[in-house]
């Protein structure tokens, strides 16, 4: 080693020694935190927050990891200092399935793609989508019959999948919903090992799991590329997101998006546009079944506002309690339960320093169950969301859709869809859990109910 390199190495060691890391859990065995995080990430993060408070440092294998659990610090990472943070390991893995779509892209490319897609999510567009949302929800209500048992998680997946395909791509995929849903489930299982630094190696091995993921991706690709091909052949402008993307000319004037670019954006919205909402709705039906007094008040509002008819977009401002129910459901079981960012440069948080290259974790699930902001955090209470109650809490004590420049582009779409689906189905039906076994959480890239939720359909 040259004298210059020795001096540089010595300086790095000195700089690291001078950094004050936050306190955090330690392990007597190598990789102990990684094992605990992989085995039960919700338990690990909840315990870490309880013991170390707003900020904690631990090692996931060789990876410095900092867990931030304070609304101000979360806002700084997502908004004020977002320039210093890029996507973490978990969503970079998602490029294997999603390519360079809105969820996984960075920098100028991400800003350009978001600008092209944004008009499809303007308020007037969403108002136009509302009729499709209620039409498809009413089809589900008509298909159910009193006394039958359904897996409400699968039912909501099927419903939201059909809605996102019809509203954004003007495509009918209802007949394929079962196959597509299974393919999406297989794809999401790749995130069970999201935190492991060994995943880059494991992903390349010819394991049964990797072969299953490859088949699932191909099944999804078949549907997406068929939708693109059909639209290119028709040349028709249907005023939907796909038409906007097809007509978009890139800034270099090279003729618009390739099929691969279109595929990546459609795949991202196909997945993100239905998976999160479906989970939020499945958990909502489960929570309503466990809280009959809340369900009764919801029914009273629906009877008063709708008087037996199917809801419309114009009804959504009047469905105040329905919105509160959905808001509290996403507090209790946030569809996106954790977010990871990588610090580009070292970053000060109070007296502590987050080293450059560290993974910063922000957990909606943990923050949403912080008793400083939500007394009795495991109680389902829509009254937390009155205007007066909201005003007592900082903004980033609740962030189911993320925040900052990467705030979910479909947030208003999801709120409208969730409210209208709840109203359409609950005006006619009640759902009751049929198993005495507790519902288990499955924290993949989204927070799913493990093994679904079996529920009996009862007429009101």
323-348 pLDDT tens trace: 999 999 999 999 999 999 999 999 99
d(CA 215, CA 227): 19
Q: Which two tokens stand for residue 335?
A: 């569809």
- Per residue in 367-393, pLDDT (tens digit) is 999 999 999 999 999 999 999 999 999
Give residue 252's pLDDT band: very low, low, confident or very high (50, 70, 90).
very low
Residue 296: inside a domain: yes
- Choice between 101 and 45, residue whose per-residue pLDDT is larger: 45
Q: What are phi and psi of 151, to 5 degrees?
A: -90, 105
d(CA 370, CA 400): 14
Residue 273: inside a domain: yes
- CATH for 41: 1.10.630.10
pLDDT at 134: 97
Reduced to 3 states, what is the DSSP secondary structure of residue 150?
Answer: strand
Q: What are phi and psi of 20, to 5 degrees?
A: -95, 110
pLDDT at 17: 54
Closest CA to 163 of 155, 153, 152, 174: 174
Q: Is the pLDDT assigned to residue 249 strictly greater than 60? A: no
Q: Is the pLDDT assigned to residue 351 strictly greater than 70? A: yes
**Sign of the alpha-carbon dihedral angle for 14, 83, 266, 156:** positive
Q: Which two tokens stand for residue 265?
A: 């954006």
- Choice between 64 and 250, residue whose per-residue pLDDT is larger: 64
Q: Is the pLDDT assigned to residue 80 strictly greater than 90? A: yes
Residue 29: inside a domain: no
Q: Would you give the DSSP letter of residue 401?
A: T
Q: How many domains does the chain have?
A: 1
pLDDT at 272: 80
Residue 9: inside a domain: no
Q: Which two tokens stand for residue 117?
A: 């897609």
Percent of the chain with pLDDT over 90: 57
pLDDT at 90: 62
Domain that holds residue 310: 34-459
Pair 151, 452: CB distance under 8 Å: yes
Q: How many CB atoms lie within 10 A of CB 30?
A: 10
d(CA 376, CA 257): 50
What does the pLDDT average to over 173-190? 76
pLDDT at 191: 61
d(CA 289, CA 284): 9
Question: Whole-prediction pTM value?
Answer: 0.89
Query: In whole numbers, what is the pLDDT of the chain averaged over residues?
Result: 87
Residue 173: inside a domain: yes
- Which H or E run contains 363? none
Residue 28: inside a domain: no
- Per residue in 44-61, pLDDT (tens digit) is 999 999 999 999 999 998
Residue 194: inside a domain: yes
Residue 27: inside a domain: no
Count of H helices and E strands in the chain? 19, 12
């Amino acid at each position: 080693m040259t004298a210059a390199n020795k001096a540089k190495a010595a300086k790095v060691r000195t700089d690291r020694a001078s950094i004050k890391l936050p306190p955090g859990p330690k392990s007597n065995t190598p990789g102990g935190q990684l094992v605990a995080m992989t085995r039960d990430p919700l338990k690990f993060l909840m315990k870490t927050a309880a013991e170390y408070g707003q900020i904690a440092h631990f090692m996931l294998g060789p990876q410095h990891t900092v867990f931030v659990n304070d609304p101000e610090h979360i806002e700084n990472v997502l908004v004020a200092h977002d320039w210093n943070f890029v996507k973490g390991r978990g969503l970079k893995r998602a490029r294997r399935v999603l390519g360079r779509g809105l969820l996984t892209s960075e920098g100028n490319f991400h800003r350009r793609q978001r600008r092209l897609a944004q008009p499809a999510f303007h308020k007037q567009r969403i108002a136009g989508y509302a009729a499709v949302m209620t039409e498809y929800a009413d089809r589900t209500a008509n298909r159910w019959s009193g006394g039958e048992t359904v897996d409400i998680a699968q039912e909501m997946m099927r419903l939201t999948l059909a809605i996102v395909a019809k509203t954004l791509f003007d495509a009918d995929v209802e007949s394929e919903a079962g196959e597509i849903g299974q393919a999406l489930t297989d794809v999401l299982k790749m995130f069970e090992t999201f935190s492991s630094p060994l995943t880059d190696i494991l992903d390349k091995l010819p394991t049964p799991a990797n072969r299953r993921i490859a088949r699932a991706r191909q099944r999804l690709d078949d549907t997406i590329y068929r939708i693109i091909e059909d639209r290119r052949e028709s040349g028709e402008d249907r005023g939907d997101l796909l038409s906007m993307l097809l007509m978009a000319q890139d800034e270099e004037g090279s003729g618009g998006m390739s099929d691969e670019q279109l595929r990546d954006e459609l795949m991202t919205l196909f997945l993100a546009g239905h998976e999160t909402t479906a989970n939020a709705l499945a958990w909502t039906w489960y929570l309503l079944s466990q809280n009959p007094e809340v369900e009764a008040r919801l029914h009273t509002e629906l009877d008063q506002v709708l008087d037996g008819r199917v809801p419309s977009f114009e009804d959504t401002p009047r469905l105040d309690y329905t919105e509160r129910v959905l808001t509290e459901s996403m507090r209790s079981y946030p569809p996106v339960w954790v977010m990871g960012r990588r610090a580009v440069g070292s970053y000060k948080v109070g007296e502590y320093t987050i080293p450059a290259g560290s993974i910063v974790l922000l957990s909606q699930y943990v923050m949403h169950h912080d008793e400083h902001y939500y007394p009795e955090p495991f109680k389902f209470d829509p009254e937390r969301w009155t205007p007066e109650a909201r005003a007592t809490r900082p903004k980033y004590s609740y962030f189911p859709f993320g925040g900052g420049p990467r705030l979910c582009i479909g947030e208003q779409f999801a709120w409208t869809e969730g409210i209208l689906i709840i109203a359409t189905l609950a005006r006619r039906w009640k759902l009751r859990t049929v198993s005495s076994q507790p519902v288990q959480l499955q924290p993949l890239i989204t927070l799913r109910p493990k093994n679904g939720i079996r529920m009996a359909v009862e007429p009101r």
